[in-house]
Amino acid sequence: MSAASTITAEAARRRTFAVISHPDAGKSTLTEALALHARVIGEAGAVHGKGGRRGVVSDWMAMERQRGISITSAVLQFAYRDLVINLLDTPGHADFSEDTYRVLTAVDCAVMLLDAAKGLEPQTLKLFEVCRHRGIPVITFINKWDRPGQDPLALLDEIEQRIALKPTPLSWPVGIAGQFHGVIQRGDGVMTAFHRTPGGATTAIEERVEPVEAAQRYGPDWQRAQEELELLELTGADHDQGEFLAAKTTPVLFGAAVANFGVRQLLDALVAYAPPPGPRPVTDGDPRPVTAPFAGFVFKIQANMNKAHRDQVAFVRICSGRFTRGMTVLHGGTGRPFATKYAQQLFGADRETIDEAYPGDVVGLVNATALGIGDTLHEGPSVRFPALPSFTPEHFAVLRSPDTATYKRFRRGVEQLDAEGVVQVLRSDRRGEQSPVLAAVGPMQFEVAQARLEAEFGVRTTLEHLPYEVVRRTDPAGEDLLRTMAGAEVLTRVRDGALLALFTSNWRMRAIADNTRGLSLAPLL
């Protein structure tokens, strides 16, 4: 088999997708349930005693386990059947949207997770719009069907009305939300009944139930499901692969991730319908085919994922070609050679050395400190993929360490957080380098920064929140003009030297701009 044929065949075996949802919809629980059904873990995470919450393999940060929420993205790569699954778990909280948006640049499909009782929620809607903008096909999993919730037809109607995506259920629940017996596969009409295992720690017991027996066993619930299925037939809510790949329809499944109900059906749907890696858009020229020479881009930087590995990992999505550990490639920004000696496969915080990878895979390059978020690595002629999204910060605070003896660790930790994109770091001539200003999309980013500085660098810090709400880019002339203005301040962004003008409000910014000749203000890039 030729090299191109091998790459084509291996790319066809890949499924790379993210799970998106509103906070508390069960996203990380579903992530672990998928890994459980793929038999890459033997039991769901141990209970950590926080309100009975279960810790999950993708939530590796102490703060995540304490609060029961995901605050950073994670990659889990595993085999299922004869395929390679690259599952990217994303933060659900709006304060970490930038991390989630970057992850969505690295996937070929998304699973939109809905709470059966709450339906479409604000953060889910925002993330779906990103998928729509990027043309990412979406599979919908309606979760928590083992608890009271909405009518299933009403949920389908909400999806169609609010996001203009036609739902095409692949399975249908037997029993209303809160009285979940199992699902009917629309293809053959056979029911799969679910039976819970103790604590939901292992895969649910599944029982195949023929229609005649199901009608006798479940009576009115079975009859109701059959009537609803007839309505779906009349409305033509059947799966069409072309419409799905065009992001016009969404296959829908029902389940309960915490009990592992319906999770295998979701995994099978991803195998059957989610697209493999295909040609990747570039900034100039035709989309890059998977058989082109090696190319990939960095969508995430993360340090200190494991206390046993005090290092930094660059997450690289492979877009084309074959990656082999130790190969020398070119850095897209500098054109300089870059060695890939320390390459690893990721599974949450766990990793192991990997020798080769193909389009769709995510490879962790260890201690690749020359790499930054959005950088491209490639063989052959230069290639550039579209820029990764960057959010405009809305919250600002001065960070200080009361203990001067820890200053070197403090500075090293702040530099690390800036490199990872946890926060943006700004320098203030007024305050000096020992008191950097942090800029964030949401205030929880400040909490993460402080918690990580203490846990990973042994540095305790204090925050002084600043009154600014609006930021614009300016130039040296603008810095001089704003130097004595009340309600404004100019700081330097450390990572690129950009001058950022901060204002206490939109009104204050407009008032200064209207009355200051020669002042240059532009949105952040």
Tens-digit pLDDT profile for residues 399-422: 999 998 999 999 999 998 898 888
Quick check: 158 pLDDT over 60? yes
Contact indicator for 321, 294 with CB cutoff of 8 Å: yes
CA–CA gap between residue 100 and residue 91 (Å, rounded)? 6
192 marked as binding residue = no
Q: What is the mean pLDDT of residues 221-226?
A: 97
What pLDDT is attached to residue 100? 82
Cα–Cα separations (whole angstroms), residue 381 to 279, 292, 294, 305, 378: 17, 11, 11, 34, 8
Contact indicator for 377, 326 with CB cutoff of 8 Å: no
Cα–Cα separations (whole angstroms), residue 331 to 84, 280, 298, 386, 415: 27, 18, 11, 16, 21
Mean pLDDT lowest among 79-83, 200-204, 358-362, 454-458: 200-204
What pLDDT is attached to residue 347? 76
CA–CA gap between residue 461 and residue 409 (Å, rounded)? 12
Contact indicator for 94, 483 with CB cutoff of 8 Å: no
Contact indicator for 169, 232 with CB cutoff of 8 Å: yes
Quick check: 348 pLDDT over 90? no
Task: Determine if residue 178 is left, alpha or beta; phi over 0 gives left, psi from -120 to 50 gives alpha, anything else beta.
Answer: left
* Ramachandran angles phi, psi of 315, nearest 5°: -85, 120
Q: Which residue has the higher pLDDT, 192 or 203?
A: 192
Edge-to-edge strand list for the sheet holding 437-440: 462-465, 395-400, 437-440, 424-427, 488-493, 499-503, 470-474
Quick check: 35 pLDDT over 50? yes
**Residue 178: helix, strand or coil by DSSP?**
coil
Quick check: 133 pLDDT over 90? no
Confidence bin at 62 (pLDDT 50/70/90): low
What pLDDT is attached to residue 52? 39
Quick check: 60 pLDDT over 50? no
* Ramachandran angles phi, psi of 389, nearest 5°: -65, 145
Quick check: 349 pLDDT over 90? no
CA atoms within 13 A on the CB side of 352: 4
What pLDDT is attached to residue 307? 61
Give the CATH H-level superfamily of domain 395-515. Peptide chain release factor 3, domain III (3.30.70.3280)
326 marked as binding residue = no
What is the residue extent of each domain of the chain? Answer: 16-72+89-273, 295-378, 395-515
Quick check: 70 pLDDT over 70? no
Confidence bin at 429 (pLDDT 50/70/90): confident
CA–CA gap between residue 475 and residue 482 (Å, rounded)? 11
What pLDDT is attached to residue 211? 93
Class of domain 16-72+89-273: alpha beta
What pLDDT is attached to residue 43? 52
On average, the pLDDT of the chain sits at 88
8 marked as binding residue = no
Tally of CB atoms within 10 A around 219 = 10
CA–CA gap between residue 112 and residue 84 (Å, rounded)? 21
3-class secondary structure per residue, 302-335: EECCECCECCEEEEEEEEECCEECCCEEEECCCC
Helix (H) or strand (E) holding 219, with range, is helix 211-234
What pLDDT is attached to residue 144? 97
Q: What is the mean pLDDT of residues 351-357?
A: 90
Confidence bin at 388 (pLDDT 50/70/90): confident
CA–CA gap between residue 132 and residue 142 (Å, rounded)? 19
89 marked as binding residue = yes
What pLDDT is attached to residue 36? 85
- For residue 310, give the nearest of 239, 390, 212, 413 by alpha carbon: 413
What pLDDT is attached to residue 390? 74
| CATH (one of 2.40.30.10, 3.30.1300.10, 3.30.70.3040, 1.20.1290.10) for 295-378 | 2.40.30.10
Quick check: 141 pLDDT over 90? yes
Quick check: 193 pLDDT over 80? yes
* Ramachandran angles phi, psi of 28, nearest 5°: -70, -30
Mean pLDDT lowest among 72-76, 252-256, 280-284: 72-76
Confidence bin at 306 (pLDDT 50/70/90): low
- Residue pointed to by tokens 């989630």: 100
Beta pairing, strands 323-324 & 328-331: unpaired
What pLDDT is attached to residue 50? 32
Contact indicator for 99, 73 with CB cutoff of 8 Å: yes
**How much helix, strand and coil, in percent to the nearest 5, is found in the chain?**
30, 30, 40
Instruction: Encode pLDDT of 230-261 as tens digits.
Output: 999 999 999 999 999 999 999 999 999 999 99
Quick check: 38 pLDDT over 50? yes
309 marked as binding residue = no
